[in-house]
């Protein structure tokens, strides 16, 4: 059977090839009835549309935007905060016709996705500063938006006020009378355990800013926290890091956590040790993810509007792509969204006796 082309359909309907092309790529140029006739004829002939690669080459665009994650791509599907963020990005991009492409940060053989995949732009989300994939995207001079990253000149960014949120969390436990405070964070690649110089070891924008916020309030109150590092932000690491922290002497009466995932690990391990939350140990998370509202007691945490962050990131990237296509320049904006402490049942006054 001969290959069906735009010309085949045009000859069958007695219209020009350009008219058939417009039915697929510029439907606003045709009446609804004519476009319906063309699409029906294409369907009868088994024609699915112009080749996407050829169309992208002709238009000088791919219709795809990347999202770079530092860790494995599984993070995008297993972490509540990441899935909420990506869902908001997809919703915001839907009207633009841009599709999302997840980019792994690892390099295999001669394939470097951040270097080799055709993209109109990319979001760099929760990614290590030293990532080679991040560097490739910058070197390609693509329209970019940094999310949960240190702001950089010439690149739009979207962050939340991590420092203020962490400061409020630490001040909350100080005001409850806690003076033995622990912190569970994710800071660097390295062995799990107690960090002697957590501020010096911190890598990544949220990690550094949250540590600064916790220390703002704790140092002002004369509190010197024990800081334990988890290697990853997952359940197994949460349990392991919590076990290290709760075995220290004297045991903390309050624990501040980098995420709700790590906070739930502290609550689980405390229960295994026969400790009551919040009577024996108060626990504060960060993110206000659904899991924190489903546990008992419900988790005191710092709320960040992940949906707003995703929508703003997508909106900023779409605008940057539009300006790149038109050759115009716009003012680069660095957005910082507010955070808010949400007090629930996992925190209470420090015990009067030890």
pLDDT tens digits for range 235-250? 999 999 999 999 999 9
Q: Which pLDDT belongs to residue 130?
A: 73
Burial 222-237 (b: 16+ CB within 10 A, else e): ebebbbbbbbbbbeeb
Confidence of residue 160 (pLDDT cuts 50, 70, 90): very high
Confidence of residue 196 (pLDDT cuts 50, 70, 90): confident
Q: Which pLDDT belongs to residue 61?
A: 64
**Angle formed by the axes of helices 6-13 and 32-45, nearest 10°:** 120
Q: Which pLDDT belongs to residue 79?
A: 83
User: What phi, psi does 294 have (nearest 5°)?
Assistant: -105, -5
3-class state of residue 255 by DSSP: strand
3-class state of residue 243 by DSSP: helix
Mean pLDDT of 45-54: 67
3-class state of residue 271 by DSSP: helix
CB distance 345 to 300 below 8 Å: yes
Q: Which pLDDT belongs to residue 28?
A: 81
Give the Cα separation of 81 and 307 in Å (integer): 9
Domains defined for the chain, CATH in brackets? 6-50 (1.10.260.40), 64-160+306-336 (3.40.50.2300), 162-304 (3.40.50.2300)
User: What phi, psi does 206 have (nearest 5°)?
Assistant: -60, -40
DSSP string, 105-158: S--BTTB-HHHHS--SEEEEES--TT-HHHHHHHHTT--EEEESS--BTTBEEE
Confidence of residue 52 (pLDDT cuts 50, 70, 90): low
């Amino acid at each position: 059977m001969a290959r069906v082309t735009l010309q085949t359909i045009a000859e069958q309907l007695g219209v020009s090839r350009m008219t058939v092309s417009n039915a697929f790529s510029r439907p606003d140029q045709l009446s609804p009835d004519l476009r319906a006739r063309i699409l029906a004829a294409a369907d009868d002939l088994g024609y699915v549309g112009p080749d996407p690669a050829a169309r992208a080459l002709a238009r000088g665009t791919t219709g795809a935007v990347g999202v770079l994650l530092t860790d494995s791509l599984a993070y995008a599907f297993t972490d509540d905060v990441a899935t909420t963020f990506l869902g908001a990005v997809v919703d915001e991009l839907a009207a633009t016709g841009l599709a999302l492409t997840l980019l792994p940060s690892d390099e295999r053989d001669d394939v470097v996705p951040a270097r080799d995949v055709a993209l109109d732009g990319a979001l760099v989300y929760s990614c290590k500063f030293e990532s080679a994939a991040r560097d490739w995207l910058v070197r390609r001079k693509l329209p970019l938006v940094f999310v949960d990253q240190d702001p950089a000149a010439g690149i739009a960014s979207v962050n939340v006020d991590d420092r203020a949120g962490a400061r409020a969390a630490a001040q909350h436990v100080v005001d409850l009378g806690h003076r033995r405070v622990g912190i569970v964070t994710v800071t660097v690649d390295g062995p799990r355990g107690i960090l002697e110089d957590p501020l010096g070891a911190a890598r990544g924008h949220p990690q550094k800013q949250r540590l600064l916020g916790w220390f703002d309030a704790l140092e002002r109150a004369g509190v010197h926290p024990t800081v334990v590092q988890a290697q990853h932000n997952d359940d197994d690491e949460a349990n392991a890091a919590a076990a290290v922290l709760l075995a220290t002497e004297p045991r903390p009466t309050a624990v501040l956590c980098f995420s709700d995932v790590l906070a739930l690990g502290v609550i689980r391990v405390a229960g295994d040790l026969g400790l009551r939350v919040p009577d024996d140990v108060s626990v504060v998370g960060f993110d206000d993810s659904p899991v924190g509202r489903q546990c008992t007691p419900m988790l005191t945490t710092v709320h960040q509007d992940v949906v707003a962050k995703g929508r703003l990131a997508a909106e900023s990237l779409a605008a940057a792509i539009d300006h790149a296509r038109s050759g115009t320049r716009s003012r680069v904006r660095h957005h910082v969204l507010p955070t808010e402490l949400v007090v629930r049942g996992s925190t209470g006054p420090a015990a009067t006796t030890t």
